[in-house]
Amino acid sequence: MKKILAIATATTMFAGVSFSQNRITLDIAKARDTINKNIYGHFAEHLGHCIYDGIYVGADNQKIPNRNGIRLDIVEALKKLKTPVLRWPGGCFADTYHWKDAIGPREKRKAIENFTWGGVREDNSFGTHEFLELCEMINAEPYLAINMGSGTVQEAMEWVQYVNHPNGTSHLTDLRQQNGRSKPWNVKYWGIGNESWDCGGNMTAAYYVNEYKKYATLATSYNNSEGLYRIAVGPGTEDYSWTETVMREVPLKRLEGLSIHHYSVINWSAKGSATGFSEDEYFSTMEQAWRMERMVKKNSEVMDKYDPSKKVGLVVDEWGGWYEVEKGTNPAFLYQQNSMRDAMIAGLTLNIFNNHCDRVRMANLAQTVNVLQSVVLTKEEKLVLTPTYHVMEMYNVHQDALLLPLTISSSNYELNGKKIQAVSASASKDRNGAIHISLVNMDAGKAQEISIDLGSAAVKTVSGRILQSAQLQDHNSFENPEKVKPAEFRKAALKGKELSVNLPAFSVVVLELK
């Protein structure tokens, strides 16, 4: 799949609207790739209040409705998102986690110190059984991250056997039955290590590859007859030499996915406030968000050298915005608010993934609840859906739909002598024949007039939804949980094969054409 991005240069302004020739053309005849639903996945780490006092409130909690300790309002929220896959237990935490500490009767489980995130005590009441029950409740595929940093190949082998093998094959399946689960869960997705270049062991690429090959061979049957999807650690920066080493040295029969991580961070030593930010900070965040396009494209080019048939999927299993924690909260818990800026990150990033779905097979937003760019915030019995939640809910129409390739000519968003592309878009056609076009205008001050050439599409009606607000810093709080929410969009007009759209400043729109 090839995508052409051309930047328009001639711009005239009137009443805050850009009348430059923002033009999108759909090329339906070239449609052949499917947008894997797992691009809309999530990530839940034992970090702060993501698991404990977030997803899991304890089976004895009488105040908050739950099933076996799993919070039911979060279950309903994630089901509405059509959450396809959920990654757990980390993150950096995964490389200190030993799964056997958290199975069996809760009162007999081994309490641990989470020295990765704050040195807090965890009683391990949320473990393999609870996580896999959560996945069944929200109809999501589980993605388990193997402990390579402090674990062993034997430990990984036994985890696979415990959750996947049929009854009676070993003492591990006997143990699973004793712990209340008769049939196997058949977990498909397995991450082998996490950020092995940093918190996962500070390894070189060459050392990691040798370790990976051991785990990928021995944690499964020799021929991987279970059909597991093994995901290798890739780079967290634009270190394409790491990708090159993995793709060159690991046989394709031992590799199904390669992960990358990217956070939209202005400055790691001074990340700024999640809500009290300037337009200059917003612009810099959008610059970082646009880097995802380059990271996906360049990693894909390296992968294409060794895997031209695109057998191996690119898995972006950590992405999102990262700011300073909210005042008065534990710095190690990474609790931050979620504003319209985060909605813009989400809309842009998901468009990038959609447009590269020939290689991108999965992505997991960091993180699900109460951590970084979360979709849900909780406070005791209260729950808030964030602007990011609403974008992901609006975009879930793209899941498992046919990507419609497009070309886009966009005006620039300019600030203080810098410029980035203002408009981002992706399009798809679902199984019922409906076309969906998702549009993002990153410009903080100017609306964008966009002309869309629908090509060979036979379209009679257009409708849409928009996420926008009065200020970039607007967010949903426990006091005002619906300040930012989707509304009907009425600024799209259909005339023959042309669709004209007036896209307000810093807004996300999803159109449906039938």
- Closest C-alpha to 392, from 83, 159, 92: 83
The answer to whether the beta carbons of residues 35 and 399 sit under 8 Å apart is yes
- Active-site annotation holder among 122, 195, 211, 393: 195
Per the CB < 8 A criterion, the answer to whether 487 and 466 are in contact is: yes
- Report the interhelical angle of 171-178 vs 153-164 (nearest 10°): 60
Which two three-digit tokens encode residue 258?
Answer: 């390669």
Identified catalytic residue from 141, 158, 281, 318: 318
CA-based angle 226:227:232, to the nearest 5?
A: 115
DSSP, collapsed to helix, strand or coil, labels residue 34 as strand
Q: Phi/psi at 145 (nearest 5 deg)?
A: -100, 115
User: Three-state SS string across 231-256, please?
Assistant: EECCCCCCCHHHHHHHHHHCCHHHCC
3-state helix vs strand vs coil in the chain, percent to 5: 30, 30, 45
Judge whether 499 and 462 are in contact, CB under 8 Å: yes
Taking alpha carbons only, the member of 415, 397, 423, 513 closest to residue 464 is: 513
The dihedral built from the CA positions of residue 8, 11, 17 and 23, taken in this order, carries a sign that is negative
479 is catalytic: no
Asked about 195 being catalytic, the answer comes back as: yes
Nearest one of 446, 441, 444, 439 to 513, comparing CA atoms: 439
Distance CA 109, CA 101 (A): 6
The alpha helices in 38-147, defined as continuous H runs, are 72-80, 128-138
Distance from C-alpha of 441 to C-alpha of 410, rounded to nearest angstrom: 10
* 41 strand-pairing partners: 364
* Active centre residues (catalytic): 195, 318
